Amino acid sequence: MAQLKPTPTLAQSVAAHLREQILKREIVGGEPLRQEAIANSLGTSIIPVREALRQLEAEGLVELHTHRGAVATRLSLEQALEWICLRRLIETDLIGRAMDNMREEHIAKAEKILGEFDENLDLGRNIHRWTGYNWKFHCALYEAADRPETMKVLASLHKKCDRYIRLQLLSGDHIARAEREHAQLIELCRKRDKRAAKALMRRHIAGVEQDLTEQLGT
């Protein structure tokens, strides 16, 4: 029997409303988000609005400042696509190099991280940690490549892409697709199928580019 989805809380409903406005650019990047005004417009108290803003901060769509309050994050599709394109080039190369030296311990490590990542994705919790899990998973796969300088560059790119990856995962069926493709990468590494693993890595990251273009494109 299929499980019923829990009814969204008031804070989740407020977050969904604000998220849609930000993504549609009805709220532009840098615009202040005044809790009292939002609460009045939605006919609610400030408490769920405050919780909603914290949730959107975890997703990378809102920035909370001590003195300035909450502001909408400035999102740049062009910048995000450039970073993700670089990721695609680097990571496709890394997975191929790693597979030349990959041992079962590398795969087991990646598999363990993936189990924790999937659990958090399925439960929709610890959103602020999703990209951290994603980075650790990919690091485990690339460890055998022994490319420390490349990994430093890649770490910077992952950090820059952080908010965009969370945004991409939260829309549509992208969580299910990410989980499926991550599991397929594990299996291809186990089979030492380098050509298929590189092709899947290329598609995996290109899919993020396409998703963000659909979400943020004008």
Tens digit of pLDDT for each residue in 108-165? 999 999 999 988 887 776 677 788 899 999 999 999 999 999 999 999 999 888 888 8
Q: Please, where in the chain does CATH 1.20.120.530 lie?
A: 77-216
pLDDT (0 to 100) of residue 4: 43
Q: Please, where in the chain does CATH 1.10.10.10 lie?
A: 10-72
pLDDT (0 to 100) of residue 6: 57
Q: Using an 8 Å Cβ cutoff, are 76 and 160 in contact?
A: no
- The CATH number of 77-216 is 1.20.120.530
pLDDT (0 to 100) of residue 3: 42
Stated pTM of the model: 0.76
Tell me the pLDDT tens digit for each residue of 81-105: 999 999 999 999 999 999 999 999 9
CATH 1.10.10.10 fits domain 10-72: yes
Give the H or E element holding residue 53: helix 46-58
Closest CA to 128 of 61, 34, 35, 209: 61
pLDDT (0 to 100) of residue 93: 97
Residue 142 CB partners (closer than 8 Å, separation 6+): 91, 94, 95, 98, 151, 154
Tell me the pLDDT tens digit for each residue of 149-192: 999 999 999 988 888 888 888 776 788 899 999 999 999 999 99
In whole numbers, what is the pLDDT of the chain averaged over residues? 89
Nearest-angstrom CA–CA distance, 155 and 149: 10
